[in-house]
Amino acid sequence: MTERTAKGVFWGGTLSSLALFLALTVDTHGQFAALTRADKLDDTVVAGKRVFERYNCNDCHTILGFGGYYAPDLTRAYTRLGADAIRRRLAQPEVAFRDSYRKMPNQHLSPAEIESLVAYLEWVAGIDNHDWPPQDSEARWKRSTERLLAAAALSPAAALVQQEGCLSCHALGDRGERQGPRLERVGARRSAAWIGEYLGDPQRLAPGSEMPGYQHLSAAQRQMIGEFIVALAARGGER
Amino acid sequence: MTYRTQRVAYPYMVVALLLFGLQVVLGLWLATQYFVTVPQGLVDIFPFSTARAMHTNLLVLWLLLGFMGATYYLVPEETESELAFPRLAIVQLVLLTATGVAALVGFLFGWTQGRPLLEIPRPLDLLVVVGALLFLFNTAVTMIRAKRWTAVQASLLGGLVFLAVLYLFGIPFYRNLAVDWYYWWWVIHLWVEGAFELVAAAMTAFMLIKLTGVQRAVVEKWLYVELGLFLFTGIAGTGHHYYWLGAPSYWLWVGGIFSALEPFPILLMVVDTWRDVRQRKGPMEPRLTWVYLVGGVVIHFIGAGLFGMAHTLPQINYYTHGSQVTVSHGHLAFYGAYVLLNLTFFYLAMPHLKGLPLGRYDERSGHFAFWCTALGVMGMSLAFAVAGVLQSYLERYLAQPYMVAQVPIRFWMAIAAAHGVMVLVGVVMTIRHLLTLRAPAGGGEAAAVAGAAVTLPSAAGK
């Protein structure tokens, strides 16, 4: 390779990449308004962005995935938490995260600062960014719930729960009674095997319980109901 | 050292090294906060965010001061003339150091621009710009007066001008967050994968000419090719940061394709260095300088090339974006590409600046310090990588809440911090070694004579 060719590689490579990059930058600017809902970007939102920067929030939290990695991403904080929960965290983080192993500093924000931050996070949550982050994707949540509901309607275990009238004492979702514990909570606390055994003889595992026994079901059927209830457990929840 | 004014490089390197030490101390404290519960009272006065702002700004500050010191050492030899304004170079160092220290103290009291890596408040930004202009003025006038142009100089000056211009995009307040990040990357990405690469390539070419004695024409020819490929892949490769910030979807294609090519220029640099090393015209002395040179090139390839490539494809990045995977890549890439580059240059220049005969020095504790730091950084980056993959799987894929997914990560952050202790020990030893360089004890003369042909500036690169 001659020096002339080498210089050609340098200028050809640099200028072609630069030309492409600048052309796309111009085009991107034309599309930002629609993709970020710039019409909703009012002075309160901008004031929120200034508050966000004044207290250096971004060096612990990420937003659009950029920033410190020490605290949750805030891109969809508004859809995940809602305005009220955001307000409580901002006003009294030492209370909101009392039991957490990681703390958030109390920045002594004024009520106006808190409101502008809420407006800012609401605007950010509406940015069309190819549905990132995955854990906060509403499309994913809905798909997952639909799958769960479809499986529940078809599953033999769901049919057993209906047939045995479990919901005449227990609550499940919006349905059922409140005499016994809510089934989602049981699912979060107990294993499928434990529930199956309990159904066979409630008095043995919980003397004095008002729960009737289900000895007439086979062990396999009782185990199936146990697995169904464990699957209903609300996932994790926030700390 | 052939030119008297090269001496201004020395204080730059000393300040850079001290800031490097402080950066590592803060880094260790940051890692600790991941696995130890810091009480609310301490979090209220010295939160993670403040320590992180200090850690990252110290990195940028010391790397830049290192580049500037290297420039002041390199330019007189390349132009074969004295520096135009040596006193101004000292004024510039004092100005930039004072600005940096003011920014760090300001962070402690909540004075910040509040944007990651660009936390330096706007009034201080202006002082940084003044410092940069003084630097460019000094360098450019020296080159113009000398009327002797080399590709090394052109790459260096081009990189420095590019660097200064890009800094301006980080100064304004942007109303729209998406636009804000769009230009934030013009500073961050185009610095590390554009301007810094130009500076680094110039410094590496200069060192290869000095150390190997390989013909300048050969080194410079490959410098053009490498830079062409670096900028071809690097400029449009900025797109890999534009996937999820509210930009159009063609960036998924542009970012994905151009970043897939990004390891190639680094690989070419590895091959190129290896060829120059094999064709060297003398013994590999001082051994430690060579260890740094080759180590830097290899870890540059692993950290920037491989660890970067591992998560730039949009299909993968959708799950890894903004996780500890980025942290892993960031640490290894910066260490390999720019920390080792600066340290290699310091090991090349400081013995000459101290007037040690033929640039030979007592290497003994330096080798242990190198391996302690390098293995520490490698172990730390691997621990971050495990934490990052766990986070991507638990939080992003299984949709566990952030704090639930962080529980198993705490263990890996403790492993990272343990390696951080190794890094701290190695770095403190390196700094001590560089600041107290001595002539080799005995036998130095004979070795010096054997290597004279390579080390003398007049014999190299003509």
A64 with A75: CB under 8 angstroms? yes
Chain B positions in Cβ-Cβ contact with residue A3 (cut-off 8 Å): 217, 220-221, 224
Subunit contact B401:A9, Cβ cutoff 8 A: no
Residue of A nearest to B37 (CA): A101
- Please name every residue paired with A62 in a beta bridge, in sequence order, or none if there are none: A67
A157 with A224: CB under 8 angstroms? yes
Average per-residue pLDDT for chain A: 90
Residue B401 in contact with partner chain A when CB distance is under 8 A? yes
**Range picked from A15-24, A72-81, A170-179 for highest mean pLDDT:** A15-24
Q: Which of B307, B295, B303 is nearest to B343 (CA)?
A: B295
Subunit contact A235:B399, Cβ cutoff 8 A: yes
Residues B306 and B286: their CA atoms lie apart, in Å, by 30
Single-letter amino acid, residue B349 = A
Question: Rounded to the nearest 5°, which phi and psi values hold at A175?
Answer: -105, 175
Residue B7 has pLDDT above 80, yes or no: yes
Q: Which residue ranges make up each domain of chain A?
A: 8-40, 41-127, 138-232
CB atoms within 10 A of CB A177: 11
Residues with Cβ < 8 Å from B62, sequence gap 6 or more? B15, B16, B17, B19, B20, B23, B342
Least confident span in A79-83, A85-89, B12-16, B233-237: A79-83
Q: Which of B44, B221, B244 sits opposite A105 (nearest CB)?
A: B44
Q: Which of B228, B258, B321 sits opposite A132 (nearest CB)?
A: B321
Q: Quick: pLDDT tens for A36-87.
A: 999 999 999 999 999 999 999 999 999 999 999 999 999 999 988 889 889 9
Q: Quick: pLDDT tens for B85-108.
A: 999 999 999 999 999 999 999 999
Determine the pLDDT at residue B443.
52
Helices (H), chain A: 3-35, 43-54, 77-81, 83-91, 93-96, 111-125, 138-154, 156-163, 183-189, 192-200, 202-205, 219-232
Q: Which of A10, A49, A134 sits opposite B319 (nearest CB)?
A: A134
> What does the H/E/C string look like for B203-251?
HHHHHHHHHHCCCHHHHHHHHHHHHHHHHHHHHHHHHHHCCCCCCCCHH
Determine the pLDDT at residue B70.
97
- Please name every residue paired with A61 in a beta bridge, in sequence order, or none if there are none: A71
- Please name every residue paired with A63 in a beta bridge, in sequence order, or none if there are none: A66
Residues A187 and A164: their CA atoms lie apart, in Å, by 18
Tokens 């949550």 label which residue? Answer: A125
| DSSP-derived pairing of the beta strands A175-176 and A171-172 | antiparallel
**Higher local confidence (pLDDT), B174 or A138:** B174
Domains of chain B, first to last: 1-120 (no CATH), 149-265 (no CATH), 282-438+451-462 (1.20.210.10)
**Higher local confidence (pLDDT), B38 or A183:** B38
Output the CA angle B458-B461-B462, nearest 5 degrees.
75
Residue B137 in contact with partner chain A when CB distance is under 8 A? no
Subunit contact A6:B222, Cβ cutoff 8 A: yes
Determine the pLDDT at residue B456.
42
Determine the pLDDT at residue A234.
56
Single-letter amino acid, residue B22 = L
Determine the pLDDT at residue A180.
80
Q: Quick: pLDDT tens for B127-155.
A: 999 999 999 999 999 999 999 899 999 99
Chain B positions in Cβ-Cβ contact with residue A6 (cut-off 8 Å): 221-222, 224-225, 228
How big is chain A by its Cα radius of gyration, in Å? 27
Residues B18 and B106: their CA atoms lie apart, in Å, by 19
Single-letter amino acid, residue A52 = F
Average per-residue pLDDT for chain B: 93
Q: Quick: pLDDT tens for A188-210.
A: 778 899 999 999 999 888 888 88
Which run of H or of E encompasses A66?
strand A66-67
B268 with B249: CB under 8 angstroms? no
Residue A64 in contact with partner chain B when CB distance is under 8 A? yes
Q: Which CATH number fits the domain A41-127, given the four candidates 2.60.40.10, 3.30.70.980, 2.40.50.220, 1.10.760.10?
A: 1.10.760.10
- Output the six-digit token pair for B79: 């132009």
Chain B positions in Cβ-Cβ contact with residue A9 (cut-off 8 Å): 224-225, 228-229
Q: Which of B48, B321, B400 sits opposite A65 (nearest CB)?
A: B321
Subunit contact A70:B236, Cβ cutoff 8 A: no
Which run of H or of E encompasses B29?
helix B9-35
Domain pair A41-127 / A138-232, same fold: yes
Interface of A with B in 150-209 (CB under 8 A): none
Chain B positions in Cβ-Cβ contact with residue A53 (cut-off 8 Å): 112-115
Subunit contact B248:A235, Cβ cutoff 8 A: no
Determine the pLDDT at residue B450.
47
CATH superfamily of A138-232: Cytochrome c-like domain (1.10.760.10)
Tokens 């009520």 label which residue? Answer: A111
Longest CA–CA span in chain A (Å) reads 93
Q: Which of B55, B49, B62 is nearest to B24 (CA)?
A: B55
Subunit contact B227:A127, Cβ cutoff 8 A: no
Most B-contacting residue of A16, A59, A97, A235 (CB-CB within 10 A), to test interface? A59
Single-letter amino acid, residue B281 = K
First to last CA, chain A: 62
Q: Which of B229, B321, B401 sits opposite A238 (nearest CB)?
A: B401
Determine the pLDDT at residue A235.
56
- Output the six-digit token pair for B415: 């492993």
How does residue A145 score in pLDDT terms, banded at 50, 70 and 90? low
Residues B205 and B412: their CA atoms lie apart, in Å, by 38
Chain A positions in Cβ-Cβ contact with residue B194 (cut-off 8 Å): none
Residues B343 and A177: their CA atoms lie apart, in Å, by 71
| DSSP assignments along B88-110, one per residue | HHHHHHHHHHHHHHHHHHHHHTT
Output the CA angle B150-B154-B156, nearest 5 degrees.
115
Residues B15 and B79: their CA atoms lie apart, in Å, by 26
**Range picked from A135-149, B24-38, B387-401, B448-462 for highest mean pLDDT:** B24-38
Subunit contact B404:A28, Cβ cutoff 8 A: no
> What does the H/E/C string look like for B382-421?
HHHHHHHHHHHHHHHHCCCCHHHHHHHHHHHHHHHHHHHH
Residue B342 has pLDDT above 60, yes or no: yes
Chain B positions in Cβ-Cβ contact with residue A92 (cut-off 8 Å): none
